[in-house]
Structure 1
Amino acid sequence: MSYISLLQAFSEDIFPKDYRQACDLWQEALHRLSATHHQNDFTLDHVQELRCQTAWVGPDAAPKVLVLISGTHGVEGYAGSAVELDCLRQLDTGLLHLPPDTALLLIHALNPWGYANYRRCDDQGIDVNRNFIDFTQPLPENPGYLELQPLLGIVDSAVRERAIHSFRNRVGQREYEIAYSGGQYADPDGPFYGGSGPSFSREVIEGLINGFRLSERQLAVIDVHTGLGPYGYGEVICDHPADSGSVRTARQWFGPGCGLPDRGTSCSVPKLGLLDYGWHKVMGSESCFVTLEFGTLGTDSLFAVLHDEACAWRGGVPDALSKDEAGARMEAHFNPQDIGWREAVIFRARQVIQQAFQGLSGNSGAAK
C-alpha cells in the first residue's frame, strides 16, 4: 500500500470544528461502515450529553487488536478525531483492510468534558494521563513541583517568569519539565494533577480492557496527542521500561526512531500515572502501547497557555483571561489550523497505523 496514494485522498473536513461535531462525524462514519462492528458509549452521569464513544470493528474473537485512542487530553482530541475518522473512511472505501485475525477498537473522546470545554483536564480537574496510579498506596511525590508551585502562583507575570526562568536555569530543562509536567498529587488547582482516585476516563479504559478480555489478546495501542515536539512532526513515544520486551516490539514495528523518555531520547520526559501504565499491566512482550505525539508551538508556549487556562478557571485571579479567551488559546495551541500541519498529521498517522497492522500480522519491516 502506497502512503503517497493514501495522502491523495486526504480531506480537511475530517478535522471537526468542536466536540459535538466530532461525535456526529464519528457516528456517521461508523454507520457507513459495512464491516462487522458494534458500538458502546460511556456517558458522564451528571452531563448526559457528554460521552466517550467506542466501537469494536472486526471479529469478536480476534486474537489481535489495534486500539486507537483520542481525546485523553480533552482539547487535544481534534487531531485524534481526525485520525479515527480517516481510518473509518479508509476502511469504508477499501483503502485499508483489517487482517482476518485482527480487530480494531476505537476509543473516541476518552475525556469528553475536557474536549467540549477546551481543557486538557476532566471535569474534576484531573489530568487523565496522570491518573493511572495505585490509589490504595501512598500518593507519589514530585519534589520538583513542590518547589516550583509557589512560583507558579506569583501574580505579576514578569516577576513569575523571572522566577521560573531562574528555577529552570538552576535545575536544567529536563528536570524543569519533570517538575512542571511529570505529574503531581498535592495541588488540585495546579497543572498536571493526577487526582485522588480513579477518574471517569480511567473507569472507561478498565471497563473496556475487562469487557473485551484484552489481556488475552495481542495488542497494539496508539494514543494520539498534540502539543509536544517539533511543529508537525508525529513522534512515536514508548514509555515501557527501556529494557523490556515491549520496547523491542515497538522498535521492531515502528523503527529505531521510537522515543524513549526513560533514555532521554524523546520530546517527552518520564511521567507519573500515565494511561500507558494501565495497559502495560495487561500486555505481554509481544504487545506495546505507544503515544503518537504531534508537535505544535513548543514547550514554553504549552506551559504558558496552561497557566493562563488554569487561572481563568480558578477564579479570583487578577487580570485573568475569561474562560472563552483561555479556551481559544488552548485550541490554537493544540489544534493548529493550517493545512500543512493537518496533512502531516494524517500522513504520519496512516504510516503508524499501517506499521501497527503489519506488526500484528508479523510482517513488520522496521529495523530491530
Structure 2
Amino acid sequence: MQAQPTAATRHFSGTYVEARAKFLDAAARRGAAVESFVLPTHRGALGEELATDVALIGARDAKKLLLVTSGTHGPEGFCGSGAQLATLHDADLLGRLEQAGVALLLVHAVNPHGFSHLHRTNEDNIDLNRNHIDFGAPLPVNADYAEVEPLVLPATWPPTPADEAAMAAYVEKHGMRAFRAAVTRGQYSSPDGLFYGGTAPSWSNRTMRGILRSYAASATHIGWIDIHTGLGPYGHGEKIYPGRNAPADLAQAHAWWGADVFAPFAGDSASADVSGPVVSIAYDECPNASIAPMGLEFGTLPDGEVLTRLRADTWLRRHPEAPEAQKREIRQQLRDAFYCDNDEWKGMVLGQTRVVLLQTLQGLKKA
C-alpha cells in the first residue's frame, strides 16, 4: 500500500511567496491582528513584494507574551514558517494560550529578502544574528577573520586541491574549534565576506525593534522562540539559550525548557557564541520585562557540509558573472542545507516545536 503524505506537509511551502500567502490566510482565518512591514528597497526572486508580517492573537496589552520568529537567516524561513502555520492551525494550543491570558505574536520572515532569494544573509549581505549590537560603541573585533577569509572564500569555486590543503593546514595548526570561531562568530570588516555584521542597524533590525516597541510594550514576561536550522544532528531541535550570561537567567531557561538547554557562552552548544543576535534586542526595547529567549535550531546536513554551502553562496555573491547553471546549483544546495524537504524531517520539526511552545506557555503561566 502506498504511503500517504503526512499531515505535516500542508504547513510547509516551496517558496517565500507561497509561505507568505499561507501565513496571511491562516492568520486572517484565526481572526489575528495582522500588520505588514514592507521592505521598500528590493523585490523578491519572483518580482514579489517583500515584507515581514506580524500576526497577534490575544490582547495587545497582555502582560505575558509568547513570541515566535521565523526566517532570521533567509531559507531557514521554510522551517520556521511551517512551524508558525502549524501553530495557527493548532486549536488546542491556541485555546490553552487564551485560557492562560498569554498573547501569541508570530513574526513571519524577519529576513524576507534572504528567504525569497535563498541567501542566509539579507539584501546587504548582513547576517542578522551579528547585526543587533550597539553601533554607538566600537565595532567588535574578530582579529582572526582576515587570515581565514582567503581560505574559506578562494578565487574559484569549487576550491582547488591547493585551496583545500591550505585550509586543512590552518585547522591542523589552530584546531577546528578556533577555525570555526574565527569564521562564524561575526566580523565587521569585510562587507562581502562570511558572517558579516554590518556597520549600522539593518532594515530588519529597525523593523524588529519597532515591532517589539509596538506589540510588547505592556509585557512583563516574554518568552521568545526564534526558529533556526542548519546546526546539529539531523532533525534534532537543539534548545539554545542566546540570552545574557547571567546565572539566574540561564537557570530560568533550564526550569522552563529542561536540562538540554545549551548556552553558546558555555561552549556546549552547536552554535558559536556570536555578537548581536536578534533576540538580544528584547533587553533594549523591553527593559522592564523578564526575557526568556531560545534559539530552536534544527539539524539538517553535517555541519561541515552546511559551512561549505555557505561559502559557495558567499563566493557567488562576489562572482555574479558565474554561469547560470552554477548559480542555480549553489542556490539549490543552500536551500537544501537549511530545509529538508521531506515528511520525516517536517514531522520532527513540528513535534519538537509544539513541545517547546507548551513548555514556554507553562513557564509564562507560572512567572
* TM-score in terms of structure 1 length: 0.90
- Residue pair 1:68, 1:84 contacting (<8 A) in 2 also: yes
Q: 1:19 is matched with which residue?
A: 16
Gaps of 5+ in 2: 44-48
Q: 1:297 is matched with which residue?
A: 301
- Residue pair 1:33, 1:91 contacting (<8 A) in 2 also: no
Q: 1:71 is matched with which residue?
A: 71
Distance in 1, Cα, partners of 2:104 & 2:95: 15
- Residue pair 1:245, 1:286 contacting (<8 A) in 2 also: no
Q: 2:207 aligns with which of 204, 208, 230?
A: 204
- Residue pair 1:311, 1:321 contacting (<8 A) in 2 also: no
1:311 matched to 2:308:
no
Distance in 2, Cα, partners of 1:360 & 1:107: 19
Change (3 A) 1:285 1:160: farther
1:180 matched to 2:175:
no
For structure 1, which segment, 162-171 or 300-309, has the greater mean C-alpha deviation from structure 2 after superposition? 162-171
- Report the CA distance between 1:93 and its aligned residue: 8.8
Change (3 A) 1:9 1:337: closer
- Report the CA distance between 1:342 and its aligned residue: 1.0
Distance in 1, Cα, partners of 2:99 & 2:19: 27
Q: 2:171 is matched with which residue?
A: 168
- Report the CA distance between 1:317 and its aligned residue: 7.3
Q: 2:149 is matched with which residue?
A: 149
Distance in 1, Cα, partners of 2:288 & 2:216: 14
Identity %: 32
1:336 matched to 2:340:
yes
Q: 1:245 aligns with which of 245, 248, 251?
A: 248
- Residue pair 1:62, 1:101 contacting (<8 A) in 2 also: yes
Distance in 1, Cα, partners of 2:73 & 2:217: 23
Superposition CA RMSD, Å: 2.2
Distance in 1, Cα, partners of 2:207 & 2:142: 27
Q: Map Cα deviations across residues 64-115 of structure 1 (whole Å, 9 max, x no partner).
A: 0000000000111011001100000003896754334210111001100000
Q: 2:25 is matched with which residue?
A: 28
Change (3 A) 1:213 1:85: closer
Distance in 2, Cα, partners of 1:241 & 1:349: 23
Change (3 A) 1:316 1:109: closer
- Residue pair 2:74, 2:118 contacting (<8 A) in 1 also: yes
Q: Give 1:187-266 correspondences, 5 Å limit.
A: 187-214=190-217, 216-266=219-269
Distance in 2, Cα, partners of 1:216 & 1:89: 25
Q: 1:324 aligns with which of 322, 328, 337?
A: 328
- Residue pair 2:6, 2:343 contacting (<8 A) in 1 also: no
Q: 1:104 is matched with which residue?
A: 104
Distance in 2, Cα, partners of 1:94 & 1:183: 37
For structure 1, which segment, 247-256 or 41-50, has the greater mean C-alpha deviation from structure 2 after superposition? 41-50
- Report the CA distance between 1:248 and its aligned residue: 1.4
Distance in 2, Cα, partners of 1:73 & 1:13: 22
- Report the CA distance between 1:320 and its aligned residue: 9.3
Aligned residue type for 2:132: F
- Report the CA distance between 1:242 and its aligned residue: 3.7
- Report the CA distance between 1:207 and its aligned residue: 0.1
Q: 1:5 is matched with which residue?
A: none
Gaps of 5+ in 1: 1-7, 364-368
- Residue pair 1:308, 1:320 contacting (<8 A) in 2 also: no
Distance in 1, Cα, partners of 2:20 & 2:289: 34
Q: Give 1:45-64 correspondences, 5 Å limit.
A: 45-47=40-42, 49-64=49-64
SS at match of 1:287: strand
1:91 matched to 2:94:
no
Change (3 A) 1:211 1:341: same
SS at match of 1:192: coil
Distance in 1, Cα, partners of 2:129 & 2:266: 20
- Residue pair 1:182, 1:269 contacting (<8 A) in 2 also: yes
* TM-score in terms of structure 2 length: 0.90
- Report the CA distance between 1:239 and its aligned residue: 2.1
Aligned residue type for 1:88: L
Q: How many residues align?
A: 354
For structure 1, which segment, 222-231 or 83-92, has the greater mean C-alpha deviation from structure 2 after superposition? 83-92
- Report the CA distance between 1:323 and its aligned residue: 2.8
Change (3 A) 1:168 1:95: farther
